[in-house]
């Protein structure tokens, strides 16, 4: 797995929200995928008690049989060992809205130097029932992850993370050409690079606040990178992604 993400940790987070543009990321082999998503995380890999809630868009030929970017949800309560699944592939996420198809292809999508199309995702914890709800766009509730699924996410998340992830199987011994985001580096900016904008978290009082002190991390910046800023209508934002294999990323 390779990441280019912005994250904030060490607090108590009761949700997260962002606008992210959607791209037809090229995935090189069926064993690989490219995702752009929000994570809410608690626990640790070391103790195998990592709890995550995840939602965003993904290109996964193995999962869907095509290369279209698709709206997805995910969860695990044991660091991806035994529990959890995408979408409705196991019991867990409870869909409450029949008008939104989880796993559906997203259309239209952004194009290089053309129109940009983004989706707004909000995940938040209902203070009364304790469930984690997912909202797509300005009003449509998609469904919820019941609180009983989780041990560590029972009370709150300790990390909110945003950005991209790619599986690199190193086909033929070199780095995969699977794209993250638009397949272009952050320095290319609006209309060419993928972005997350208006990156926010939900505080203890159920208020949306800017994700202050967002830390940016690219574990292979010559393959997939990230660069952020803040201000104006975009609030806290970053561009992220890249092409994978290149002369910079052998």
State whether residue 35 is helix, strand or coil: strand
| Gap between the Cα atoms of 222 and 93, Å rounded | 36
Q: 62: which DSSP letter?
A: H
First to last CA, the chain: 16
| Gap between the Cα atoms of 94 and 144, Å rounded | 5
| Gap between the Cα atoms of 163 and 161, Å rounded | 7
Q: Give yes or no: 62 in active site.
A: no
Annotated catalytic residue, options 32, 62, 82, 165: 165
Under 8 Å between Cβ of 74 and 52: yes
User: What count of other Cβ atoms lies within 10 Å of the Cβ of residue 114?
Assistant: 11
**Residue among 224, 145, 198 at smallest CA distance from 21:** 198
Q: What are phi and psi of 133, to 5 degrees?
A: -95, 150
In sequence order, the 6+-apart residues with CB closer than 8 A to the CB of 121 are 17, 18, 20, 38, 55, 56, 134, 135, 136
Handedness of CA 200, 234, 8, 94 (dihedral sign): positive
Annotated catalytic residue, options 54, 62, 82, 188: 54
| Gap between the Cα atoms of 223 and 203, Å rounded | 34
- Residues labelled as active-site residues: 54, 165
């Amino acid at each position: 797995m390779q990441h280019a993400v912005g994250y904030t940790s060490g607090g108590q987070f009761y949700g997260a929200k962002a606008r992210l543009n959607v791209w037809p990321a090229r995935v090189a082999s069926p064993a690989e995928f490219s995702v752009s998503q929000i994570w809410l995380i608690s626990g640790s890999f070391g103790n195998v008690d990592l709890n995550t809630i995840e939602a965003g868009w993904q290109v996964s030929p193995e999962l869907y049989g095509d290369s279209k970017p698709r709206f997805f949800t995910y969860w695990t309560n044991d660091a991806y060992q035994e529990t959890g699944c995408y979408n409705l592939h196991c019991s867990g996420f409870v869909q409450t809205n029949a008008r939104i198809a989880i796993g559906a292809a997203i259309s239209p999508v952004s194009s290089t130097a053309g129109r940009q199309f983004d989706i707004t995702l909000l995940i938040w914890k209902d203070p009364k029932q304790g469930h984690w709800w997912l909202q797509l766009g300005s009003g449509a509730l998609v469904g919820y992850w019941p609180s009983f699924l989780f041990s560590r996410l029972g009370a709150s998340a300790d990390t909110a993370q945003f950005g991209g992830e790619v599986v690199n199987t190193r086909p033929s011994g070199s780095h995969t050409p699977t794209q993250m985001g638009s397949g272009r580096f952050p320095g290319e900016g609006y209309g060419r690079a993928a972005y997350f904008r208006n990156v926010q978290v939900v505080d203890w009082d159920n208020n949306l606040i800017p994700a202050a002190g967002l830390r940016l991390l690219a574990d292979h910046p010559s393959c997939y990178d990230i660069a952020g800023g803040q201000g104006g209508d975009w609030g806290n934002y970053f561009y992220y992604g890249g092409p994978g294999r290149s002369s910079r990323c052998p």
